[in-house]
Amino acid sequence: MNQSIRILRLPDVMQKTGLSRSQIYRLVTLGTFPTQIQLGDRSSGWIESEIDGWLAERIALSRERQCQAAAKV
C-alpha cells in the first residue's frame, strides 16, 4: 500500500476545520485536537489524515446528539 502523507500548515488547518488559530492551540493544549509535528527549527504542521479523523469524530458525535434529541421528542 503506497499512501502518501500530506502535511497541513496552520492556515490550511484553520480553513479545513473552520477553527481559529487560538481555538486550535487551545484544543491541542487540552489534548482534544491532533498535535502538530515539528518540520524544522521554526516550522510545524499537522498530518492531514489525523485532522480528517478528528473531523469525522466531530461529525459522528454531532449526528449522535441529533438522533438522541430527536428520540426525546
State pLDDT tens for residues 4-62.
Answer: 999 999 999 999 999 999 999 999 999 999 999 999 999 999 999 999 999 999 999 98
Domains of the chain, residue spans: 7-72
Q: Are 61 and 52 in contact (CB under 8 A)?
A: no
Per DSSP (E only), the strands in 1-73 are 7-8, 37-40, 43-47
Q: For position 1, what pLDDT does the model report?
A: 52
Predicted local confidence at residue 65, as pLDDT: 80
List of residues 6+ apart from 34 with CB closer than 8 A? 28, 46, 47, 50, 51, 53, 54
For the entire predicted model, the pTM comes to 0.85
**pLDDT value for 66:** 76
Q: Which three cell numbers stand for residue 73?
A: 421528542
The CB density around residue 24, as the number of other CB atoms within 10 Å, is: 19
